[in-house]
Amino acid sequence: MAIRFNQIADNKSKKESYLHDQPNETTNWLWSVLKILKVLGIPSSNYYRWCNNSSLTDNRGRTPSLDRTLPEEEQKIVAYALKHPQEGYRRVAWMMVDEDVVYVCPSTVYRILDKHDLLYRWKRSSSVGVRPAKAREADERWHTDILYLWVMDRWFFLVTVLDAYSRYIVHWKLVFSMAADDVMDVIEEALEKTPAAAPQVVSDNGSQFIGKEFRKLIKRHSLVQIKTRRQHPESNGLIERYHRSFREEGVGERALSDYYQACDLIKKWIDYYNNRRLHSAIYYLRSVDYYRGEPKKLIKERLEKLKQARKLRR
């Protein structure tokens, strides 16, 4: 195979014109293809690939993703995140799906918030210590503890019972002292709310939880008590995490001026925590969804919304 040219230029910038010149019967020289390619510095593999293409355009680029978010969707994500600055990107993603704002997965929300420099949530600190095995159903295991609250120029004590499976607050009470009777009353009232329950009770080694009267309560209701390691609050990490959320999001910077105001604030916060707040540990569903709902059905509905949204973008 050969190509004839009237003239071979030394300037390599004209390499494309050489390849597209038509054969001319009046030319003076006959050059082989390989020799021409060698002079021009073009690999032979490139030449033969060009011959097989309709043009010299390289079409190896990736096809644009059909799942890429639309500009209006990105605007909605940014606006929603700005309205909920205390929430992490995963919680924001599922809140938007549930509220029918926009249907995108958490990784997409992360990418967009990172692009707009809105990833300002703090990192969770790592914890150590052995914890009980994960609960498999509601009311299988309860965690209880006492939180100090400064109200009306004195300390009050918030006693809480939290369900390990759902993170649902089963019962709470703001008491005037840390006496064993006050703590026992909270457990008794929680059991009255759930008459069929016989949970394991996880507590620390405070005097209220290891005394004779508390042990009698455990025995009377055929319960099992699990005591955490001494001087190791992480062993009761579920309720410790709840206390942190309550202090940061529930109370915040507010001053509690009297007992009734404090009780009202606690009641509203726990209603939000149980019924509206999305929890990372339970697939960003609400506690009530796990405690008395159908979590698998809700997760399936979410995934279906994402699937339908992808179809609409194609």
Residue ranges of the chain assigned to CATH 3.30.420.10: 141-276
Residue 16 tokens read as 């494309």
What is d(CA 113, CA 90) in angstroms, rounded to the nearest whole number? Answer: 11
CA distance 9 to 31: 13
- Determine the Cα–Cα distance for residues 246 and 111; give it in Å rounded to an integer: 29
User: Any bridge partners for residue 156, and if so which?
Assistant: 149
Q: Residue 44: its pLDDT value, please?
A: 78
Is the domain 141-276 a CATH 3.30.420.10 member? Answer: yes
Angle, CA 59 vertex, CA 55 and CA 63 arms, to 5°: 150
Q: d(Cα 299, Cα 186) in Å, to the nearest integer?
A: 33
Q: How confident is the model at residue 255, as a pLDDT?
A: 86
Q: What is the pLDDT of residue 30?
A: 61
At residue 201, φ and ψ (nearest 5 deg) are: -115, 115
pLDDT at 16: 46
Predicted confidence at residue 128, as pLDDT, reads 36
Taking only the tens of pLDDT, the chain with its 314 residues reads: 444 444 444 444 444 444 444 444 444 456 777 778 777 778 877 777 777 765 545 555 555 555 678 888 998 998 898 888 778 889 999 999 999 999 999 999 999 988 877 775 433 433 334 456 788 999 999 999 999 999 988 999 999 999 999 999 999 999 999 899 999 999 999 999 999 999 999 998 888 999 999 999 999 999 999 988 765 556 688 999 999 999 999 998 888 989 999 999 999 999 999 999 999 889 999 999 999 999 999 999 999 999 999 888 87
pLDDT given at position 87: 84
CA distance 239 to 164: 9
Q: What is the pLDDT of residue 131?
A: 56
Determine the distance from the C-alpha atom of residue 269 to the mean position of all C-alpha atoms in its chain, rounded to a whole number.
21
The angle at the Cα of 35, spanning 30 to 39, to the nearest 5 degrees, equals 115
